[in-house]
Amino acid sequence: MICCRPSRRALLRWSAIAAGASLLPGTARADGGAVRPVNLELVTVTETTAVLTWYTGVPGTDDGLGRMRPAPSDAEVLYGTDPSRLTSVAHGPSGTPYHYVELTGLEPGRTYYYRARSAGQDAAPTWLAFGTAAGTPQGDVFAFTTPQPPPGRHLFSIALCNDLHLGETVAGLVGQLPWIKGIEQAPGHPPYPEVMARALIEDARSRGATYLLAAGDVSSEAAPADLRSAKGILDTFGTLGGDYLVARGNHDRAHSGTAYGACSPGSWQGNDCFKDAFFPSGRTYFSHDLRGLRVIGLDTYDKPGDGGDSGGLSADQRAWFEAELAKEPDRPTLVFGHHPLFTENDPLAITGAHSLDAGQSLRILAAYNRTPGVFLHHAGHTHRNQRSTFPLAPRVVQQEVGAVKEYPGGFTLLRVHTGGYALNFYKTRSDEARAWSERSRQELSGQWPQLSLGNRPTDRNTVVARDFSGLG
């Protein structure tokens, strides 16, 4: 389910978008050929690597979700530093319609040109109304430029993730509009939240993450069995409170009803099964030392409610948070919590449910401006990749990260160096994860990539200089 319930005005806006979907570029059927490669996306660009994904389908068919039926094919990327001389070739696995190709051995600060192909045909990019998904078009090829690495020595890496939604069975439900179809897992396949969460752990480890931060909505509706499942999967990464840390989301709030009756009473309502699962001996917000880095986890639904309104901190949590920041204002500090402070370029932001209470957000930004050590605020809830900075605290980057549980389906890797940091979003890449990610991109009548992938390359990939020489 996309958080949270939008207003009638927002739904009407989306109705207009969906009604015009047939007019968007790239929707015409191919005239011939057994395979058509589409949905090309340049997902990740680091100083030495790039990740490309796309899909191959049978032209002229419909799988019932508004996309071509999947057609297994080969995958290759031709690339080079001259658009007329693509002399290097990279291949992905053949025999799948869900293609994932990683270019390696690239040089920092170089512009590369490429074309991605299946069955000898160039892949068409995902069309974004306000951005580009596949890089910069250069005639019949695409271009991207690798960044310089963060200055200094690499210290450690942290996987930033959110919105696992263990227990969910239908993705993409918004309101009651008949043109919006929820997306279910294909028959005979494992539940998609479990598929995506297990792929997250595998890929985060293989990408070098030593630590993991899960910024809320680890469950669909905080049912005890779903919370046990979520914790069991996260425990395969490491130890709670040491290797990984968790914050509460609005879906993880205390609930009422017989299914929750065995859990401890909630501070505001019902029974708090999330607290029992992840914070059995203390409060649901915290400060944690991670090799000298101060990591602050916020409970952004520390309030009564049904989960469909703005997030908020209790008065006690606000006082604790501001006091914690004031203790060591220059110490390198990362804050994470479920709700963003504010959401930029979000057509559903008018609902007021996509961020923290505005007054609290302004107060937090003022506190950040008094705390030079804060450099990053990681949030989920919007299920999208979006990098924002705000005038009240211009040194702090707010990074919203796409949901684990659905398209684009992945996590952001924070690589900390002595002289700065890099943020790179990765799609999870197991066979089941790639299949579900491509299936769930059909949410909102196929328009979900417009909101979730990230319109700018910097929404998914950035490098920032910063002095972290005091970290271990």
For residue 28, what pLDDT band results from cuts at 50, 70 and 90? very low
Residue 140 sits in the same domain as residue 181: no
Q: How far is residue 268 from each of residues 172, 216, 316, measured CA to CA in Å? A: 29, 18, 13
9 exposure class (CB count in 10 Å sphere: 0-12, 13-18, 19+): exposed
Residues 6 or more apart whose CB falls under 8 angstroms from that of 266 comprise: 253, 254, 272, 275
Q: Please tell me whether residues 240 and 327 are part of one structural domain.
A: yes
Residues 128 and 228 in one domain: no
| 335 DSSP β-pair partners | 296, 377
Cα dist. 433→139, 155, 195, 202 in Å? Answer: 33, 29, 6, 11
CATH number for the domain spanning 196: value is 3.60.21.10
Tens-place pLDDT, residues 397-449? 999 999 999 999 999 999 999 999 999 999 999 999 999 999 999 999 899 99
Identify residue 139 by its one-letter amino acid code: G
Residues 296 and 227 in one domain: yes
Residues 92 and 167 in one domain: no
**What does the mean pLDDT of the chain come to?**
92
* pLDDT (0 to 100) of residue 175: 54
Whose CA is closest to 425, among 438, 444, 407, 447?
407
CA 106/CA 276 separation, integer angstroms:
47
Count of structural domains, the chain: 2
Structural domain boundaries, residue 240: 154-465
- Rounded distance, CA 89 to CA 86, Å? 8
Placement of tokens 């680091």 in the chain: 46
Alpha-carbon span 70 to 410, nearest angstrom: 21
**Single residue among 110, 128, 146 that ends a domain in this structure:** 146
pLDDT in tens, 52-77: 999 999 999 999 999 999 999 999 99
On the question of pLDDT at 27 being above 50, the answer is no
Identify whether the C-beta of residue 68 lies closer than 8 Å to the C-beta of residue 35.
Answer: no
Angle CA 209–212–216, to nearest 5: 150
Confidence of residue 177 (pLDDT cuts 50, 70, 90): low
Cβ-contact 127, 25 below 8 angstroms? yes
Confidence (pTM): 0.92
Q: What is the mean pLDDT of residues 296-301?
A: 98
Residue 173 confidence (pLDDT): 80
Q: Strands 50-57 and 98-103: what pairing?
A: antiparallel
Last residue in a domain, options 88, 117, 146:
146
Section 360-388 average pLDDT: 97
Residues 133 and 207 in one domain: no
User: CATH no. for residue 104?
Assistant: 2.60.40.10
Q: For residues 127 and 168, state if they share a domain.
A: no
Structure confidence at residue 17 (pLDDT): 43
Q: Which of 337, 369, 23, 281 is nearest to 162 (CA)?
A: 337
